[in-house]
Amino acid sequence: MNTPPAIPALSPLAVPVPRPRLSSVDRRRQLLNHAIALFSRHGFSGTRTKDIAAACGVSEAILFRHFATKEDLYHAILDTHEAAAGKEEWLAEMQARAERRDDLGFIRCLLAQLLKSFREDTAFHRLMLYAGLEGHSLPGIFHERTGSRMIEFLRNYIVLRQREGAFRKANPDALIILLASPAMQYATSKYIFGIKAFRGTDKDAADELANLLLAALSPAPKRSKKTSKRKA
Amino acid sequence: MNTPPAIPALSPLAVPVPRPRLSSVDRRRQLLNHAIALFSRHGFSGTRTKDIAAACGVSEAILFRHFATKEDLYHAILDTHEAAAGKEEWLAEMQARAERRDDLGFIRCLLAQLLKSFREDTAFHRLMLYAGLEGHSLPGIFHERTGSRMIEFLRNYIVLRQREGAFRKANPDALIILLASPAMQYATSKYIFGIKAFRGTDKDAADELANLLLAALSPAPKRSKKTSKRKA
DNA sequence: ATTATCTATAGATCTATAGATAATGC
DNA sequence: ATTATCTATAGATCTATAGATAATGC
């Protein structure tokens, strides 16, 4: 005795809820949004135009009225979509720490923001990964936008602090990799692959890693030999 | 005046080169190998069974004689394919460095091997990335094989060296992330996305990063305050 | 005799379009 | 009048199978 369908009269087939007729720009925006969600989950070739249209509650014909081809739709996304969440605020915050030479705060802020970006904008990062794997040259675009601006900023600070003697005189590119990688790797595992490599909150992870990274950046204490035990 | 096709008589269509009839196991192996190459490039949904069969020079019917469905083929790959390149030798080498407490050598070896794995077994890593994105739960399998064994080994050494006072008393999980991430990130960018974040060879990168990582792992020098300048 | 292989094709699905219809804005 | 929308469908492509054929090993 299973519960029979209670309200057959209200099934989607029976009463096609009168959807509002959206303006061209609104519908386009809606199509893009649902396309982002689906492409980010299934990749380009794993996403069906039918599903995108269905997600918006319209026929496929509508989709192809807005975008000539599936490729066009995909590129419309890749061309315009940036890592959203408060990039400007972030840069400002980093800038503030940089000005007062708060190295630990600087690194912490960097890591926290990377984690936040993956947490809140997972779709974007999945999209970038797919685009990179599928060879849609999008990581290029990413790198030339948010990415490279941040990298530029990072490198400037690193070089500055190296000149001031606060950071170790290593290859700045290596230091950039070192700073950004752990948070990216951790966030990718956690938010994209669903593997937690670390118990505790993102903040815990950021703090823990920031301390370690600062140690890596700090100039080597002067020692005569590897094994010398700093005998005052 | 373009050069006309020179040897029409030898075109593939004209003379169907008598391919050898392979044994079941050989053909199966060949199908798997070409499937790996194609799945790794285009993902599951981006790969056509036709292309796999064509790569082996046989009809699709042959493929479906060996694997009931495309899914079956894919899982046959994911279940059996491990990170190939000399895993045992690698562990032995790491073990040797561990025994003589050559921390820098230990880290260098780890990084060099990670880079080598991506360089020489790119298809495998692409496969894992795709599987993770497409939700084929394969990273799980990966993690339970090569991955987790290596992680186990790493953690043991880290904990040991922490007890011996040679490594900083931080969360071992954080240290593992710290150690492995830069090389993985760098290798992913370079070998999978084709972005070089670093001029120089892989060995240069490994050495540079290893030095930095060792600094991060080393215990903090005793200082009374953050800003103290170690006045003897 | 066994079995690796092919041809041909079914049936599903996918992108894209043509032409008709109905809601909106003037 | 304009235009957002739908239905219906073409044409391509994709997975999978049925049944026939030819190479191999005994």
pLDDT of residue A16: 45
**CATH number, position A34:** 1.10.10.60
**Interface membership of B231 toward A (CB under 8 Å):** no
User: Do A135 and A28 lie in a common domain?
Assistant: no
Q: Distance (Å) from the C-alpha of residue A10 to the closest C-alpha of chain B?
A: 34
- pLDDT exceeds cutoff 60 at B229: no
Residue B227, in any domain of the structure: no
- Indicate whether A91 and A49 sit together in one domain: no
Its pTM surpasses 0.75: yes
- CB contact under 8 Å between B46 and A42, yes or no, is no
Is residue A64 located within the same domain as residue A99? no
pLDDT at A196: 83
| pLDDT at position B225 over 50 | no
Residues A128 and A198 placed together within one structural domain of the fold:
yes
Domain with B31, as residue range(s), is 24-68
For residue B21, count CB atoms less than 10 angstroms from its CB and return exposed for 0-12, middle for 13-18, buried for 19 or more.
Answer: exposed
pLDDT digits (tens, 9 = 90+) for B91-140: 999 999 999 999 999 999 999 999 999 999 999 999 999 999 998 865 55
Q: Which residues in chain B have their CB less than 8 angstroms from residue A220's CB?
A: 215
Mean pLDDT of the residues in chain B: 85
Q: How many domains does chain B have?
A: 2
Residue type, B219: P
Average pLDDT for A49-70: 97
Q: Which nucleotides of D are covered by protein (CB under 7 A)?
A: 3-8, 13-19, 23-24
Q: Write out pLDDT tens, residues B34-83.
A: 999 999 999 999 999 999 999 999 999 999 999 999 999 999 999 887 76
Same domain flag for A36 and A120: no
Same domain, B62 and B102: no
A19 near B CB under 8 A: no
Same domain, B62 and B92: no
Buried-state track A128-139, b at ≥16 Cβ within 10 A, e below 16: bbbbbbbebebb
Same domain, A100 and A175: yes
> What 3-state DSSP class applies to B3?
coil
Asked whether residue B3 is domain-assigned, the answer is no
- A101 and A36 assigned to the same domain: no
Residue A77 is assigned to a structural domain of this protein:
no
Q: Are residues B138 and B175 in the same domain?
A: yes
Give domain status of residue B117, yes or no.
yes
Q: Has residue B79 been placed in a domain?
A: no
User: Which whole number is the average pLDDT over A10-33?
Assistant: 74
Question: Is 80 exceeded by the pLDDT of residue A19?
Answer: no
| Residue B222 Ramachandran class (φ > 0 left, ψ -120 to 50 alpha, else beta) | beta
**Torsion angle defined by CA atoms of residues A62, A47, B185 and B98, in that order, rounded to the nearest 10 degrees:** 160
Average predicted confidence (pLDDT) for chain A? 85
For the segment A29-55, the average pLDDT, to the nearest whole number, is: 97
Strand D within 7 A of B173 CB = no
Shared-domain flag, residues A31 and A127:
no
Nucleic acid strand C: bases within 7 A of protein CB: 3-8, 13-19, 23-24
| Strand D neighbours among A 24-53, CB < 7 A | 24, 27
Q: Is residue B76 part of a domain?
A: no
A163 and A202 in a single domain? The answer is yes
What residues of A are in contact with residue B220 (Cβ under 8 Å)?
A: 215
What's residue A218's pLDDT? Answer: 87
